[in-house]
Amino acid sequence: MAAGRSVGIVPVLIALSVLTHTGTASPVAAPVWEDDLENATRLVDVFPADGSRFTQLQVEQGGACALDHEIVRSGANSVKCVAPGVGQPKADLGRQDATSEIPSQPAPPRFGQLADQELWAEMWFYVLDAGSCEGLFLWDIEESVANSAGLRVYCKTDPGSGVDYLKMNSEFGNSFQPDPPFIQLPFAQWVRVRVYVKFHVLVGAVKIWIDDTLVLDATGRTARARRSIYDSIQWGITVNASGRAQTVYVDDVSIRNRDPGW
């Protein structure tokens, strides 16, 4: 995985056409943008001036992010995000492509009912065990023009079983809740989280996987408006409302606008 690489869509389509014509199995859809946090010696290195990698750093109310070399999923680097247990601090890194018009060609990220209608996002998290992750937000996709938080992957604790599980919060409709039995989000180990969203004001869809297990599969409203463009994504501690100090490591993130066959 190349650091901060935007992947051209045309070569992927050509390869797909050739393989389909010859009867060979279609390849997995390549990311339109990905970053493995390599080729960096300081955190500032993953925020280059050309905007090819991450473009946003959000640290509020005592939150902090730093390049880490000890707890890494691959290569030499990850990003360590820490947030105190008081207030609603934030410590995350993000990518934004904010313009007011829908372009003729998609850019990463640029999703919505009238832009790319579907999103597949993959990321790796290492969440330290704080006793509970209730109130910990790990991933957001936002509509920057409307300053709307949009959809957010959120950790919830089931009061009966004590299981910490992932759900999808919505800022403009009902949240998406998995059916029991809930699947525990593992702590103190690298976990691959995958997210799928079909954007629609009425009949959208969301899915979340933890490693290879589908833990949420739901339908409903996933866009604020028909012309909403979701152009900003954050990874890390996008909000810590848990009342506990939390630490999250992030590594190997990617965005796709074609089905990778998960």
**Domains in the chain: how many in total?**
1
Would you say residue 243 lies in a domain? yes
Would you say residue 135 lies in a domain? yes
Neighbours of 103 (CB within 10 A): 11
Would you say residue 72 lies in a domain? yes
Burial track 153-184 (b if 16+ CB lie within 10 A, e otherwise): bbbbbeeeeeebbbbbbbebeebbebeeebbe
Would you say residue 148 lies in a domain? yes
Would you say residue 261 lies in a domain? no
How far apart, in Å, are the Cα atoms of 111 and each of 25, 122, 195?
28, 15, 14
Q: What is the pLDDT of residue 148?
A: 74
Q: What is the pLDDT of residue 17?
A: 34
- Conformation bin of residue 43: beta by default, left when phi > 0, alpha when psi is -120 to 50: alpha
Would you say residue 262 lies in a domain? no
Would you say residue 119 lies in a domain? yes
Beta strand extents in the chain (DSSP E only): 5-6, 33-35, 56-60, 64-68, 78-83, 90-96, 118-127, 136-143, 148-157, 164-170, 190-198, 204-210, 213-220, 232-240, 246-256
Query: What's the CATH code of the domain at 218?
Result: 2.60.120.200
Would you say residue 89 lies in a domain? yes
Per the structure block, which two tokens stand in for 241? 């409302």
pLDDT along the chain (262 residues), means of 10: 53 33 62 96 95 94 98 98 98 80 57 84 98 97 84 96 97 91 97 97 95 97 91 96 98 96 94
- Annotate 73-103 with DSSP letters as a single string: SSSS-EEEEEE-SSS--EEEEEEE---SS--
**CA dihedral over 135, 139, 145, 146, signed as positive or negative:** negative
Distance (Å, whole) CA 218 – CA 45: 38
Residue span of the structural domain in which 220 resides: 5-256
- Stated pTM of the model: 0.88
